Amino acid sequence: MANLKPPMTEEEVKKAGVANIRIAYNKLASDYNRMLENDLLLCPKCNTWQKGETGFYFDKEYATNRYPICKRCIQMMVEQRKTDREEPNETKESVMSVCRMMNRVFDENFYNECVKGALDGVKEKNRQSPFATYITAIQSLPNWKGKGWEDSIFLDSSEQSDEDIKENSRIIKAARKRFGTEYSLSDLYFLETQYEDWVQRYTCESKAQELLFQRIAHTQLAIEKAQKAGRDTDRLDKTLQELMASNAIKPSASNSSSFSEAKTFGQMIELWEENKPLPEVEEDFKDVDNIALYTDVFYRGHLAKMMGLKNGYSALYDSYMDKYRAKKKTYEEEENSEALFDQIFGGQINEE
């Protein structure tokens, strides 16, 4: 009520006269009736009265059928400005943040089309904000009728495989559990991927270390947004360095040096096999020259043969060397040999 027009004082009433009082009363009554009919609304952000139909976005969730913050303040939030003198800096992240606040659906593909249309359209000084085009379209076209922030589309699913979609869903689900639900999906994806990258590269064996890595990911996100907005990042960079120092992380440190010291070689092999198993050997790197076979035959097999050991290697050696041994042929049955001789030369053997 403090934003209503103040009434005349007693001295002002005496000086105004009946005619001027009647004019002032009619104007005050007109404004009051417009407020009762929700035709005149107060924006709590800029503290100004504006016409409800043109100054505010339609929103049936409110009794006034208008979103409480005026269009101008919404646009200032999208452009990340506090005063009219600042240069507008509309980004996809700022648009998503406002859409989440207003519970409006965010369709990334359509927003990209709005951005492209704005760039290809009129001159820069007369160019309409991509967000203004976007918000008008989603509120008027039936494609997005009844949809809110939960129905947002961030990637074109036709360009993703089923594995990519499942992987992204897994990351977003894990991010919401770790960082909360007040972030946009793109922010959650950034936070979770950065967190997983940190814990894979450096030791993370306690709750305190998990918290530090979460704070590092938060700081990285803040730096990323500040850089896109053209703001100074010295303070954030210092915070990031302090967080890294708290976790004993140096640029020269690596997971292979610090992490491997805390585990035995057998544990490291188990970790590699479970998380990063070796892929199938490519055709170019397979044992095309049978070097492994030659090692088993002429080293292990020959050594086992020399030492009189009977095992798989000695048997492999014998079977391989049989191809190169010369054998004396013998007749298995003597009667067959005599019959063959008689058949070739004929006659009987003269025993005398």
Residue 228 and residue 171 share a domain: yes
Arithmetic mean of pLDDT, 78-85 = 89
| Whether residue 106 sits in one domain with residue 174 | no
Structural domain contains residue 349: no
The answer to whether the beta carbons of residues 77 and 94 sit under 8 Å apart is yes
Q: Are residues 119 and 200 in the same domain?
A: no
Domain shared by 218 and 268, yes or no: yes
Residue 13 lies in a domain: no
* Residue 121 near residue 127, CB atoms below 8 Å: yes
What is the number of domains present in the chain?
A: 3
- Which domain, by its residues, includes 307? 290-321
- Asked if 111 and 191 sit in the same domain, the reply is no
Residues 243 and 303 in one domain: no
Whether 139 and 223 share a structural domain: no
Q: With respect to residue 248, please indicate whether it lies within any of the assigned structural domains.
A: yes
In this prediction, residues 210-238 reach a mean pLDDT of 88
253 and 177, same structural domain?
yes
How many residues make up the chain in this entry?
352
The predicted-structure confidence for 269-292, as pLDDT tens digits, reads as follows 777 777 766 677 777 777 777 788
Residue among 106, 116, 97 at smallest CA distance from 154:
106
Among the three residues 136, 151, 166, which one is the final residue of a domain in this structure?
A: 151
Of 89, 119, 151, which residue is a domain's last?
151
Q: For 32-41, 61-70, 98-107, which range has the lowest pLDDT when averaged over its residues?
A: 32-41
Examine the pLDDT at 193 and tell me if it is beyond 80. yes
With pLDDT > 70 as the criterion, what percentage of the chain qualifies?
Answer: 75
Region of poorest pLDDT, from 66-70, 184-188, 221-225:
184-188
